[in-house]
Chain A
C-alpha cells in the first residue's frame, strides 16, 4: 500500500480516520523510509508552529486592548510629527525645499519639541538638533544610537533602543525612545557620522519587552509606519546589531 504526502500530512494533523491510521502505522513499522517521510511531515508542522508561537507571549498592544475592552476612543497620543516629505533620493533634495522644510520644522518643533526637549537655556544637551532643515540626533540620543545595543540596555538609561534594521540601500536605522516626563519615540538613520531623525512622536508607551517584534509593536503608530516603510528584510538580531556597531553603522 502506498501513501501520498497528503495522507502523511493528514496523519501529522491528526485527521486520518481510524482505519487509515492503523494501516499507515502498520506500514511505518515495516518501512523505515515511510516512517522517515512521516517524521518529516510532523517536523514541518512543529517547525511552523514554533516559528509563530512567540507571538502568543508578546505583550498586547494597548490600542488592541482598548478596542476590545471598549475604552474611550482617542486615548492614543496622536500628536505625531512626521517629517514629510521625505526626499526620495537624498542627493536630489532641492535647496529650496530644504529651506521650506526647515521653516515647517521650526514651526512644528518650536512649541512641540524644543520646549520640553530643552529644559534650560543652554541648548547643548538636547537630543535633537535641527541643522539646514534636517533633524539630527545629538547629545545623549546620538551617543545611544551609536553605542547602545538593544540586547544590553543599561538599566535606567535615558534612551532605550528598539529595533535596528537596514534600508534597501543598506543604510542602518534604529528606533528609540527618549525617556522623561514626556517621552519621545522616533526613528533615526545613519548619515555619514550623524543620525538623521526620520520620524518622531510624543507619548511612547511603556517599554513592553526586549524582543524586536515586541519593541516594534510598542512604538507609536507613526513611528511604526515609518519603520514599515523603510525596512528591507528582517530587523537585525543581537549579533547583527553588534556587528553593525563594530563597523560604526556604515553599510
Chain B
C-alpha cells in the first residue's frame, strides 16, 4: 500500500490534467481525482501487478466522472448547457489566449469524444490503451477520435503558421 501511495502522488499531476479535460471546471476536476484516489486505495487488491497503474487510475477517474454526471442529472446538464453558451467576457481585448480557445472547444465536444481526446491527444496513450480504458473496440475509439478532430478543426479553424 505504501508503494501504491507513492506512485499515486507521482501520478497526481497527470490525473489532474486528465480530469481537467473531462470536468466542467478545475474544482470539479479535482473532486474527480479525489474520488478516484479514495476508490483506488479502497480497491488496491484489484490492481494486477503487471497492469500499468496509470491506465488503471484513468479508468477509475472515468468511472467517477460517469457516476458524477449521472448524479448531477438533468439540472446539471441544463446548467452545463447554459454555461457553455456563455462566451468569454471582454471581447474588447482581442482573442483569448489560445489555450482558453482550445479548452473551450474541447469542452463543447460530446462526452465520449472528449474522453478519446483526453486519453489519446492529451495523455498520449496508444489506441489500444485508450480503447481498453473506454471499454470499447479500437474501431469505436478511432471513429470517435476522427469525429472529435473534425469538430475541433471546425471550432478552432485555421491558425497561421500552424
Contacts and interface: CB of A to CB of B under 8 A. Distances in A.
Interface string A14-42: 01000000000000000000000001110
A82 interface: no
Contacts of B75: none
A104 to B, nearest CB: 26
Nearest to B149: A9
B33 interface: yes
Interface residues of B, number: 56
User: Which of A43, A64, A244 has its CB near the most chain B CB atoms (within 10 A)?
Assistant: A64
Given A9-B146, A15-B127, A41-B149, A56 B162 contact: no
Contact of A55 (B13, B146, B162): B13
Interface stretch (B46-54, B61-69, B117-125): B117-125
B103 interface: yes
B100 interface: yes
Given A67-B38, A225-B27, A237-B97, A58 B153 contact: no
A122 interface: no
Given A67-B37, A216-B27, A240 B89 contact: yes
Contacts of A67: 34, 37-38, 41
Given A48-B121, A51-B102, A52-B17, A233 B146 contact: no
Question: Is the interface on chain A under 10, 10 to 19, 20 to 34, or 35 or more residues?
Answer: 35 or more
A232 B33 CA distance: 24
Nearest to A10: B142
Contacts of A239: 93
Contacts, number: 143
Contact of B146 (A5, A170, A216): A5
B105 to A, nearest CB: 9
B32 to A, nearest CB: 11
Interface string B115-142: 0010011101011000000000000001
A233 B89 contact: yes
A70 B28 CA distance: 21
B25 A65 contact: no
A234 to B, nearest CB: 5
Contact of B34 (A6, A47, A49, A63): A63
Contacts of A45: 121
A216 to B, nearest CB: 6
A84 interface: no
Contact of A70 (B17, B41, B146, B159): B41
A51 B99 contact: yes
B102 A48 contact: yes
Contact of A61 (B30, B102, B146): B30
A135 interface: no
Contacts of A52: 17, 20-21, 99, 103, 122
Nearest to B40: A68
Contacts of A180: none
A6 B17 contact: no
A7 B142 CA distance: 9
B3 interface: no
A216 B25 CA distance: 10
Contacts of B127: 10, 13, 15
The 9 closest A-B pairs by CB, nearest first: A51-B102, A43-B162, A6-B146, A55-B17, A68-B8, A51-B99, A240-B90, A56-B13, A232-B86
Interface of A: 4-6, 9-10, 13, 15, 39-41, 43-45, 47-58, 60-61, 63-65, 67-70, 165-166, 168, 170, 213, 216-217, 224-225, 227-228, 231-234, 236-237, 239-240, 243-244
19 contacts: A6-B143, A40-B162, A44-B121, A47-B159, A48-B117, A48-B121, A52-B99, A56-B16, A68-B9, A168-B86, A217-B27, A225-B27, A228-B28, A233-B88, A233-B89, A234-B88, A236-B89, A236-B90, A243-B90
